[in-house]
Amino acid sequence: MITNNPFSEVASVISPSVMQGYVVLMILLVIGGTVLDMIHKQSAKYFFANSKKAQAGAKVKVGGGKKAGLAVKTVANEVLTSSEFCNSKRRMSHLMTMYGFVFFVVTTALLIFKYTGADAVQAPVLVPLLWHLGALSLCVGGYWFWFSIRVDVASEGVKWNQFNGRGDLFILGLLFTATFALLWSFTQAIGLGGFKWLMFALFILSATVLFGSVYWSKFAHMFFKPAAAFQKKVAQADGSNENLPADYDLTDPELQKKFPDLPTYLGENPPNMGLGIKREQPRHY
């Protein structure tokens, strides 16, 4: 099952050109939904205005080489490893969902455009294998978040059967698309006849909702998040720090010289303030 191209059998009923047209349409829906989301929320306008404001308050000039390094760091930390998540379980769930989605989408395009049709070559074992593993990883990470992390009071404390709008529309779209894709492939492999077409129809319906609801869901946040993380790193590097106070070392003699009243309030050797609200898990609801 997991090494077979599930789109090959469908090609006998649905033309590969129709499947390819559907994929192109979904890509256009994502682009259009993202653009409409940017126009509606004026996120691009805010981003550039905030960037310009930060440049005006910059204390040092950040060159192109430094910015390139910050971009690489952003990709390595916020994109590839999701280091912004302090909770290890939430981070692992997010990574499984993200990488599963990426592999699932890329291999879907490969299977449809290159390995489906009368003249198409047979797909290498690795491609359908990654398609199935991607969908499975997406399901594991997504259901882990929905039924365990999301309902945990220390995390969010939302009931599993409670729908919260934009964010939930995105994750449910992901879960239904991957779930019905796996069920379709499974029922096709064991030859359940009409039931496989029901799973295929639900798979297509879920994918259409996922990619067609970008304007109403949090789908577009995957594009804004890296840009915001990069801008934050640039603001910290040029000293503007988005008008936030610097993170001082209270034991620094130069700082105590600059603020001579520090010893009055904190003593000659200011203590380590500790983890603050992070000193323990939030379980006091």
**Whole-number pLDDT of residue 164:** 77
CB contact at 8 A, 181 and 187: no
Question: Taking residues 68-84, what's their average pLDDT?
Answer: 88
Give the pLDDT of residue 200. 96
Q: Which two tokens stand for residue 2?
A: 């997991």
pTM over 0.85: no
Q: What is the pLDDT of residue 245?
A: 63
Given a cut of 80, whether residue 176 has pLDDT beyond it is: yes
> What beta strand segments (E) does 141-270 contain?
none
Mean pLDDT value of segment 249-277: 70
User: To the nearest whole number, what is the mean pLDDT of the chain?
Assistant: 85
Both tokens of 22, joined, read 């559907």
In terms of Cβ atoms closer than 10 Å to its own Cβ (0-12, 13-18, 19+), residue 87 is middle
